[in-house]
A and B are shown apart, each in its own frame.
Chain A
């Protein structure tokens, strides 16, 4: 459903872009830099950056095209083959290693304007992630994201839960801790009986305490189980970035998954079928429709949540709490970031690098910070985004930023062969979520992943 909506919105936006696009080709000529991104929410902010860039660089202009997540990557791949790829595009950590292997990314160190990018200008650790195994830089950091709990304050109040307790929830794989107690309390069946009360009917639930974003096979459980495996002290690979041995066979991982997907078996979290299978509705829609009272989601969704409305069009209130503290005694969140990459197919790499330099610079990142959609990679931009949310939306987004401040983040597992890993992981993780396979099946998946890297080597 979410993807459908994304496709539809992108179609609508494309239709809108058509006009300015035609103008651009008529007047811009060779100085038009093609720039692609997938998040429609970020397009207005980057359009402002593009306008500013055009003012600074007479003769150059940027044409932004936006495509929904799924379409984006297939269109990009097709573009590399058919020589219709953009000059600059928004890149993802899960994808860039493959592109480096395919030889379609230009090292930014070799381009004049971007040769002097400084790692220290960005939030700690972000810039290093975008260096390939050859040590060259393939992306200029644009933003970062972490995970937190979004909750429906009305549902929390009805359950008689003090919202302050949500700020310090704990969990463990044995009984789930105060986190699971809260989730059970927030779950209500069709007869109005709560999940922690006798007579609770787990097969006919009206409101789940904890929403679901699928099995998490495609992004290392980023918005699903990564906050739990992370706070249990688990790492996906032997080293990061560029790990080549996997840790899915470790008991700590399998116990955590067993507990996590157990929430669905207990009736506290919707099943694979209920969220729409491979077309999941997404945690934001689950909270909006009242299917879930609380859900993990990424900081890039803040504006989506603050714009949620009920059927009558009234804005819904939303609260944010940090990820629960785990057996390691700490909370944890995956720390991921996007960057801009220049393609080898670009006919004007120096101009493209100029635009990348501008995108990664303080001015553009401050503009993005003030649009309040994502946290820019530069600390000054991040501060502006926090201030925007506090002043304009009355929303405290520190549950996202504290993870970085308190160094409780772990990095997205960056590896080669990412497409193969996804293709192998998605069906196996889905099978565990559905209940078709035991969590111990992760051991054979781990062998497959290890073999993949031995063969590749």
Chain B
């Protein structure tokens, strides 16, 4: 611009000011994200027990990873968890968000929807561990009262992953609903008015107006929640510690146990890099498939 119209006064150079404003976020990003990631990648090529100096071993950790059946099982378990968790959470959150927008605008109701998110993951996991306890849990007492058999929610290999997924849905659904709700606010009311004039039902309007216009927000929410869901750890660490057998040994828990339980930090780093690669691919695919960068609201 400045070169095309040399007569005009150059706008003040605000690079320095911009850098100043970016600095806090940038420093945090470099110190807590970029540097640990780079160091983790480097450690994945070493044998390192945390207390003595790392020893370079090339691709040995990656060779071991490819041959490790527990790693592949962990990946499978994690994907299973993500599918159950995200499908349930997104469907419920969408329903809650639409109800919040179309039925009521009360602030206290929105507040209540968000409350589980204020509980820490560990506390939520502990409370559910008590509720679902096979012998003493109130959840199982209720199930017995209505005449069904008690269920070992967190001790039966068929139940653990769905149970952990539901616990985390309970905690996160309100937050996800709020994100979607914010997206709904961007859809102009005139669209619905036009719909009503044309005699469309609530359901038709949801399918023809809400969903298409919500797509970019929904895509963003999906990318964020899927990445978060892949990193499930605390609920597993509290409720099942990977068991029974390996049925809830999700990747993050396996990595943690390898690093801090078995002192094999190099191999744990290699698996973390593996998880990073999986997440990059999945995020890229999601981004492309959902066309998250473009909106139909033209």
Contacts and interface: CB of A to CB of B under 8 A. Distances in A.
A78 B249 CA distance: 22
Contact of A272 (B50, B242, B244, B261): B244
A277 B243 contact: yes
Contacts of A276: 133-135, 152, 154-155
B135 A289 contact: yes
Given A273-B156, A278-B240, A434 B245 contact: yes
Contact of A279 (B50, B239, B261, B263): B239
A291 B263 contact: no
A281 interface: yes
A427 B245 contact: yes
Contacts of A80: 50-51
Interface string B154-178: 1111000000000000000000000
Decide if the interface of chain B is mainly helix, strand, loop or mixed.
Answer: loop
B262 A423 contact: yes
Given A1-B133, A291-B135, A98 B245 contact: no
Contact of B126 (A4, A81, A272, A275): A4
A419 interface: yes
Interface residues of A, number: 33
Contacts of A281: 135
A419 B51 contact: no
Contacts of A98: 263
A291 B239 CA distance: 22
A420 B258 CA distance: 9
Contacts of B126: 4
B15 to A, nearest CB: 39
B135 A277 contact: no
Contacts of A420: 262
A261 to B, nearest CB: 14
Chain B CB within 10 A, most for which of A74, A78, A272, A436: A272
Interface in A138-179: none
B255 interface: no
Contacts of A436: 157, 244-245
Contacts of B246: 427
Nearest to A432: B245
B257 A278 contact: no
Interface in B103-153: 126, 129-130, 133-136, 152
B51 A103 contact: yes
Given A103-B51, A272-B155, A419-B262, A278 B134 contact: no
A103 B52 CA distance: 8
Contacts of A426: 243
Contacts of B133: 1, 276
A104 B52 CA distance: 10
A274 interface: yes
A281 B136 CA distance: 10
B260 interface: yes
Interface string A279-291: 1010000000101
29 contacts: A1-B133, A4-B126, A77-B50, A77-B260, A77-B263, A80-B50, A81-B50, A98-B263, A102-B49, A102-B51, A104-B51, A272-B155, A273-B152, A273-B155, A273-B156, A274-B152, A276-B133, A276-B155, A277-B244, A278-B155, A279-B129, A291-B135, A419-B261, A420-B262, A423-B261, A427-B249, A428-B245, A434-B244, A436-B244
Given A1-B136, A427-B242, 19 more contacts: A74-B260, A74-B261, A81-B51, A102-B49, A273-B152, A274-B134, A274-B135, A275-B155, A277-B152, A277-B155, A279-B239, A279-B241, A289-B135, A291-B135, A420-B262, A422-B261, A423-B261, A427-B245, A436-B245
